[in-house]
Amino acid sequence: MKTEIPKSMRALVGDRSIYARISNYICNNPSGDGVKVATVPVPDIQDDEILVRVRCVALNPTDFKHIDILSPRGAIIGCDYSGTVAKVGSKVLGTWAIGDRIAGSTHGGLYTDRGSFAEYLKIPADLAWKVPSSVSDQQATTFGVSAITAMLALNARLGVPWVDIGSAPKQPGTPILIYSGSTSAGLYAIQLAKLAGLTVITTASPRSHDLVKEYGADDVFDYRSPTAVEEIIRAYPNIDRAMDCFSEGGSTDFCARVVHNSRGWVVTLLDSGKTDIDGVKIDFLLAYTAFNKEFQWLPPFGPRFAGIPADKEALRQFYAALPEVSQYLVPPPLKEVDGGLANLGTGLDLLRQGKVSGTKLVASLD
């Protein structure tokens, strides 16, 4: 089956000058949505890549953070996608076929030829997954940044066993703390840890206690309680691992105190500059390392990050298993953003203003 592929497409691109982005970084006070819909070339693919006709996308905080600080003018925004295969590179024939349903994530926001908020997207053929009929396009697109982050934190950093459907758990009953369990990454982390047999302790505001329990949390504590740390330690004195899905406002210190008695390990999603807190290892995780490609923020003077081959292999393993494992994972509650590409900026601004809680914003591009 052949499809007509145009030479140009519509895409949502960054539209802030370097001066505005530096000002946003220093003052943390962005004005305007910082994006526009532009007509750009459909990207050319290499022999080991595929071209995706994007049908649906999910919105993440990393998208507006790129727009406000990191994205050069003209860079295509967006990481998470689902769609159909439109073209297949010569080295991956037989693995993918035109028309296959596909989903995954990419490092949007830095490049003019790669980003999911566009009609077409090129991706490495081995870093995507085939979506079964039991999963909708909207659901599939949520298995991107949030799910990858949860997987890397648990399986590639904290030593949680890979989910093996039908096999006995390898670490039954072992406790783990998922801080801010009601976030999208937190909800996936809760489920992956539970499927691996662990006992999951999480934190959430009282209004989200029922939500995290529905997703499998064994015990939930109000992070605002002044006695929460002591209560967790008393109930789980040997706890030695934590994933900090919030990574701001003292959350990492909270996690470090919980695992301090075991001189444990905390994975964070924002860089505090700390690698150790009173004997507790602090590990900063960026999901983009799984694409195994060096990247730089605010070039030429911003920090550089190396790709990590082991993270890429972990992502390949995760996506290879996901067609089966997805049957046992419940996506976060979804909220549709209407209006296609032209209205994605509105959804991103809701995230920017902190007006999205307990749901995942998704949008159809058709």
Round to whole Å and give the CA distance between 158 and 290. 16
The closest alpha carbon to 100, from 52, 44, 47, belongs to 52
Contact 46, 90 (CB under 8 A): no
Contact 42, 9 (CB under 8 A): yes
**Within the chain, which residue ranges are assigned CATH 3.90.180.10?**
8-143+291-364
The closest alpha carbon to 338, from 330, 350, 324, belongs to 350
* Helix, coil or strand: residue 44: coil
User: Quick one: fold of 147-285?
Assistant: Rossmann fold (3.40.50)
Contact 107, 295 (CB under 8 A): yes
Q: How far is CA 350 from CA 64, 113, 205, in A?
A: 10, 26, 20
* Helix, coil or strand: residue 303: coil
Tokens representing 134 are: 């039991």
- Per-residue burial over 72-83, b if 16 or more Cβ lie within 10 Å, else e, is bbebbbbbbbbb
Residues linked to residue 83 through DSSP beta bridges, in sequence order = 54, 102
The reported pLDDT for the residue numbered 72 is 94
Tokens representing 343 are: 């209205």
**Within the chain, which residue ranges are assigned CATH 3.40.50.720?**
147-285
230: amino acid identity, one letter: E
What is the separation of C-alpha 278 from the centre of its chain, rounded to a whole number of angstroms?
A: 29
The reported pLDDT for the residue numbered 366 is 78
Q: Would you write out the chain's pLDDT as a tens digit for each of its 366 residues?
A: 566 899 999 999 999 999 999 899 888 888 778 999 999 999 999 999 999 999 999 999 999 999 999 999 999 999 999 999 999 999 998 889 999 999 999 999 999 999 999 999 999 999 999 999 999 999 999 999 999 999 999 999 999 999 888 787 888 889 999 999 999 999 999 999 999 999 999 999 999 999 999 999 999 999 999 999 999 999 999 999 999 999 999 999 999 999 999 999 999 999 988 999 999 999 999 999 999 999 998 887 889 999 999 999 999 999 999 999 999 999 999 999 999 999 999 999 999 998 988 899 999 997
Round to whole Å and give the CA distance between 31 and 24. 9
Listing DSSP states for 223-279 in one string gives TT-TTHHHHHHHH-TT--EEEESS--TTHHHHHHHHTGGGT-EEEESS--S-SEETT
One CATH from 3.30.360.10, 2.160.20.10, 3.30.60.50, 3.90.180.10 for 8-143+291-364: 3.90.180.10
The reported pLDDT for the residue numbered 3 is 66
How many residues in total does the chain contain? 366
Tokens representing 283 are: 């590990």
Listing DSSP states for 98-159 in one string gives TT-EEEEE--TTS-SS--SSBSEEEEETTS-EEPPTTS-HHHHTTTTHHHHHHHIIIIIIS-
The reported pLDDT for the residue numbered 1 is 53
Round to whole Å and give the CA distance between 42 and 120. 6
Round to whole Å and give the CA distance between 58 and 56. 7
| β-bridge pairing 49-58 and 360-364 | antiparallel
pTM listed for this prediction: 0.95
